[in-house]
Structures are given as structure tokens and as C-alpha cells.
A and B are shown apart, each in its own frame.
Chain A
Amino acid sequence: MAEAREPVTTLDTPIRLEYLFSAGIAQSKNLRGLAEGRFVGQRCPVCSKVYVPSRGSCPVDGVPTDEEVALGNTGTVTTFCVVNVPFAGQSIEIPYIVAQVLLDGADISFMGLIQEIPADQVRMGLRVEAVWVEPDQLGPSMASVKHFRPTGEPDAEYASYKDYT
């Protein structure tokens, strides 16, 4: 008490809240597919587009996407960026490539890690396939997809994916 202290200028108020998150019906189907090492999409009954992952509705038509569509393991890089910055939660050595991957048969691309190719050789149109984690590591999460790697096929034509960048 005796010594003069600096006035209080900050207040620490830690906040911790616990939740039980529920994935819902449609997303659970997709996640269970990932746990089995395969991609499961869903088709909109109105526009026939195939969503992967689907949250259960077609974002354009606002109707349930009930029809399940089994998708293959290959796709096309529609666009990408090179990550050079370390940030919290990151577990991959920089630089590395994060790409939008359009699976064959799907109508929407999602974000994926590209490996097994030098970063400066990744390009739009690159054909890639999913590499899954070991079977005992598979779980209901995109973490089941270790990364994507080139298939060695010729690049896709720009026109075939330009609407999906």
C-alpha cells in the first residue's frame, strides 16, 4: 500500500463458454463420408447443382438438397494463393499452396492444401487428387483429407472452370 503504484488502465476478463455443437442432418452425411475416406455431395432438386459440402439447403433455391451424390477423388485447381505468413493454429511449413479445388461432378469448389509439387509450379487448371490420412486417422472432418496432389493429367481448359473461381 505504501509505495505509489501506476493507476489501473487495463482489466483482464477471460471468457470461456462451452458448447455442444451439432452438425445437422445434411452436413453429418457429408462428414460421415469423410470419415470413410470419400466425398459425398448433395444435389438441389430445383437447379440440379451438386454441393459439397452441403449445409442442407441450396443457397440459390432455399430448398433441401436431399439427393446424395457420391463424388470421385479428383478435381481441378480453379485458383490458389501462396501462403507465406505464419499464424496461430498453422501446422504446415511455409510457403505452401492453398487452392480452390473443384471436384469432378461437383458444382462448387472448396479450399484445399496442395502438396507434392513445388509451390512455384502450381497453376490454375492443375488436375489434382485427394490424398487421405491413414485409415485409423480418418474422422468426420476435412482434416481427413491430408492434401491434394497432381494427377499428372493435362491441365483443364480455362473455360471448363472459369465460372468456379
Chain B
Amino acid sequence: MSERVAVIGTGQTKHAAKRDDVSIAGLVREAALRALEDAGLGWADIDAVVIGKAPDMFEGVMMPELYLAPALGAVGKPIMRVHTAGSVGGSTALVAAHLVTSGIHDRVLTVAFEKQSDSDAMWALSVPQPFSAPLLAGAGGYFAPHIRAYMRRSGAPGHIGMQVAVKDRLQALKNPYAHLHLPDISIEMVEQSVMLWDPLHYLEACPSSDGAAAMVLGSEQAAAAAQVDTGRRPAWVHGMAMRSEPTMFAGRDQINPRAGRECAADVYRQAGVTDPRRDFDCAEVYVPFSWYEPMWLENLGFCDEGDGWKLTDAGSTSMDGGDIPWNCSGGVLSSNPIGASGMLRFLEAAMQVRGEAGEHQVDGTRRALAQAYGGGSQFFAMWVVGTDKP
């Protein structure tokens, strides 16, 4: 009964540690204007705007959709602001997509951003709160123990994380928008980088970036019109899902969270995917620390539990000869404007399906998966996009 929805335009900024050439409005407009241009549309063609970002404390602007509404052409239109922690870029795209699948709007602009250099990401993510435990470990200190637990549970050898770190940075060299371009990246270089939170090296962690991502989502009619105007085909959304679970509770599996498994099952059912490794041509998955690639390979059902690291080890997730390339854009390990990082996954999957990914295009991609997660591995957002109209 739902209407079809497709991605008909994508745009992103050049991501960088500090985009000191733009205001907040300038940053989001850079991505939004590229998405509009890609869709062959102007501001007046848009029916509604959905904007997402992580905590307001990054920029020190409370509910910035109010200040940004005129910058995004939203005057006289509906605008919504989503915040679901690290998964927000993905869930923002899903809220926008529902505005189309529900039959309410035809063309929705969705934007996600973070201009975290206005403050400091480490500070904003862990503003010290009264009565809470003293800051013991910093951001990675939260995830490193889970990585150790994964290694113990799966028996993965120590070099797997470094392999992911190298692979994603090599792939980022093919993405002109990526923040990190490290042409000399190698296992040795990762190994010799500072061991931040043992077992995590510095080069196994994501950077802190300024950046924005934008998409125009269209109804079946809007997609047909855009294809005629621009000659570029839409990426059809074959399935979308969100799941949340509590931050902590007795017996919670933080390595292979049930919310992630069930979110994947839901989105696969909608898209008719039964064997993700076979049915997808590539995937964009939120991997902020290298070891999350093998963990999410298992969580997303690309292999049996405990076998994720074997796929990484065999090079299966590499663009260079792998059968199921992950994060051809360079992923979160290469660009991390936190609020936009999830939307970049969704957007990059759409670019692959549209054949518009340039140098990091996986030829012949017909179906791709995007995943974003946030909080303490507790919020998940996913979509499946494909070339075929569902």
C-alpha cells in the first residue's frame, strides 16, 4: 500500500578536519545545492525538508533547524529535525523517505551535518555530568573493551583491525570528498601509529570531520521526471528499517546486538534478500573503529557468527577483488562528520546503485545495503537500494 520512493539527487561537501571557509549554513547549503543540482531541481521544487545532526552542543546552537530553515529553502514548508545519536544520518533519511512512501509529499530534501570544529568533538560527546564516573578512558575507551571481547569470542587474530584500516583508507583515495587521503597507508603504518586504547591503534579510529550530506528523495512520478531531465537513473528504496534497544541491561550482547540483527532481518524481508553476501553488490556500513567491520559482517548476516574476521582476512570486503566490497567511499574511518556519517552511508549506497560513484564505483551494482548505528551500539537504521523499481 505504500508509495515507492527513490533517491533522485545526492550531494556532499568536501569533508575536512576544519571547514573554516564556511558558516554552518554555508556548509549545509554546499551539500544541499549539489543534491538539488543532481536532481535537476531548484529550492521551490521541494515540498519538505528533514534535517538531522548529533548533539546540538557540537555547534552550540539549540535546535538549529530554526536558524537553518531559510538557508534550506524551508520557509513556508514543513521542516523536521531528527536526533537519534550516531545513527541520526540514517534515521533522518528514513523519516524523509516515509514522507514520500506515506503519499504526503513528492520531493523531500534531507540534509545531515556536523560542524564539530566549532567546538571539540571529544568534549561535546562526553560533557562531564555531575555524579557520573570520572572520565577514565575517552571515546574509544568505551568501544575498545567490546572489541577485545569480540576477539576473545571469535578467536580473531590481531591484524584484522589493521587490515580494515588500510583497506578503507586505500578506498578513500578514490573518493574526492573523503576527509583522509593517506596514499602511503600500510599495515606497518597502522601498527606504528600510537596504540590509543589497546587493542586500538590511532589509525584504526575515525577522524573528526566537518561535513554535510544531502539527498533529494522523490515519489515514482518525481523519479521519472528527474530521470528525463537529468538522464541519471534513480536509486529505488527496496526496504528501510530502524531498531533501538537499551544502552545497557543485564546480559546485553553489545558485540552482536539483537537490535542490529532484527533491523537487518526486517530490511532484508522487505527487499527480498535472503543471502546478503550474494544478493548485495556492495555495502556502506558505519565502521568508526576498524574492528566494527568484522563485528557488523556477522551482525548483518554476511556470514555466520564468529566468521566475520575471516571475510575481512580473505579480502572479500575489498574493492580490489573482493566479492562483497564494504565502504568503497572510505567509510567513517576516512570521513566522520558525526551527524552526517550515517547519511553518507545511505547516500553512497544510492550513488553506487545509480552508477554515479566515480572512481570508487563497483561496476554493475544492482543492489546495495546501507547501515548506520549509534549510542552504545543500540540504535540502528538501514536501507536497501537498487536499480530495479520494486
Contacts and interface: CB of A to CB of B under 8 A. Distances in A.
A23 B132 CA distance: 10
Interface in B192-237: 194-200, 202
Nearest to A165: B149
Given A21-B129, A98-B141, A162-B153, A81 B199 contact: yes
Given A47-B250, A51-B250, A81-B198, 9 more contacts: A10-B20, A49-B251, A60-B246, A82-B195, A84-B196, A85-B197, A90-B138, A98-B145, A164-B250
7 contacts: A13-B60, A21-B130, A21-B131, A60-B246, A78-B149, A80-B145, A90-B135
Interface string A75-103: 00011111111011111100100111000
Contacts of A31: 131
A31 B131 CA distance: 8
Contacts of B144: 81
Nearest to B139: A87
A142 B123 CA distance: 20
A4 interface: no
Interface string B109-139: 0000000000000110000111111111110
Interface of A: 9-10, 13, 15, 21, 23, 27, 31, 47, 49-51, 58-60, 78-85, 87-92, 95, 98-100, 107-108, 110-113, 124, 140-143, 158, 162-165
Contacts of A113: 136
A60 B158 CA distance: 34
Interface in B128-185: 128-138, 140-141, 144-149, 152-153
B186 interface: no
B254 interface: yes
Interface of B: 20, 60, 122-123, 128-138, 140-141, 144-149, 152-153, 194-200, 202, 246-251, 253-255
Contacts of B60: 13, 15
Nearest to B60: A15
B141 A164 contact: no
B138 A85 contact: yes
A79 B153 CA distance: 11
Contacts of B249: 49, 58-60, 108
A13 to B, nearest CB: 7
Contact of B196 (A58, A85, A98, A164): A85
A83 B137 contact: yes
A11 B141 CA distance: 33
B137 A98 contact: yes
Given A80-B148, A98-B141, A107 B196 contact: no
B141 A99 contact: no
A36 to B, nearest CB: 15
B145 A165 contact: yes
Given A9-B20, A79-B146, A165 B254 contact: yes
Nearest to B145: A79
State the 6 A-B residue pairs at the shortest beta-carbon distance, nearest first: A82-B198, A107-B250, A81-B144, A59-B246, A165-B149, A49-B250
